[in-house]
A and B are shown apart, each in its own frame.
Chain A
């Protein structure tokens, strides 16, 4: 039985979030990029994650009731 302690895709998966957050060291980022170049499995998942984040952000935009805006303005100190 082969113990895959160092599966490169597992490593790549662990770097996904810090990679997209741009907090990897140069070395780590290069290692991830090198792996991504040759691995379509990880590449698809990285692209998905990037799009997912955008999707969640857009889906979460909530517009405020105009009434609330008026109430907030009414809280201002009278001149």
Chain B
């Protein structure tokens, strides 16, 4: 074999090896990617389609990933773009909507509904079930939910979330704060009933 043919063969072998490594690393993250996808989309089926499309695209365009950077965030960026492409959200984000319960709202509502005057956080928390949390999350409007899911469930930094969603970091922070408050309001309404209509059990 000539030198150039030899180099060429070696380059091909290295390329194949890099690709295999990339694919394996990506697949190792599939559980985490799915978990986030499940909360970004409306149903299990949608989440499964979304994850499949994400991996198909990731495997096709693996060369555009820079080794040593955050692969999980890279995959998540593909996923959120696909999710938006699917037209799941054309609604304008309700940024200016006045509703705003404070950050103590859920605790206050839950502890008010407890008979003891001296309710401990643990007892208050025990009023919530896993389904309550999942349902409340799905009731948060998309723009806010995306950020809450990425940061609070996916454990992405503000910076990562900003890059994944292609929005400024300040927007990540404001949506996150707002989204968490909406989540708590939803939880309170689910568990105690919505406001005036004589809650408590």
The residues of A with any CB-CB pair to B shorter than 8 Å are 10, 13-14, 16-17, 23, 44-45, 47-49, 51-53, 55-65, 68-69, 71-73, 75-77, 79
Contact = CB atoms under 8 A, between A and B. Distances in A.
A59 B52 contact: no
Contacts of B38: 62
B164 interface: no
Q: Closest 8 CB pairs between A and B?
A: A59-B133, A48-B121, A59-B130, A64-B34, A62-B38, A16-B103, A62-B35, A60-B153
Given A17-B177, A52-B106, A72-B55, A77 B19 contact: yes
Contacts of B104: 13, 16, 45
B30 interface: yes
Contact of B52 (A17, A47, A49, A68): A68
B121 A68 contact: no
Contact of B125 (A10, A14, A52, A77): A52
Interface residues of B, number: 44
B107 A44 contact: yes
B9 interface: no
A64 B103 CA distance: 33
A72 B25 CA distance: 13
Nearest to A9: B104
Contacts of B149: 60
A7 B103 CA distance: 15
Interface string B157-193: 0100000000000000100110010011000000000
B31 to A, nearest CB: 6
B107 A75 contact: no
B20 A79 contact: yes
B139 interface: no
B95 interface: no
Interface string B93-120: 0000000001110110000000000001
Q: Which of B19, B59, B103 has the most CB of A within 10 A?
A: B103
Contact of A72 (B52, B137, B180): B52
A52 B122 CA distance: 10
A63 B121 contact: no
A46 to B, nearest CB: 9
A48 B35 CA distance: 24
B59 A76 contact: yes
Given A57-B153, A60-B133, A62-B35, A49 B56 contact: no
24 contacts: A13-B102, A44-B120, A44-B121, A47-B121, A48-B107, A48-B121, A49-B103, A49-B107, A52-B128, A55-B128, A56-B133, A56-B137, A56-B153, A57-B155, A62-B47, A64-B35, A64-B51, A65-B48, A68-B52, A71-B52, A75-B52, A75-B59, A76-B23, A76-B27
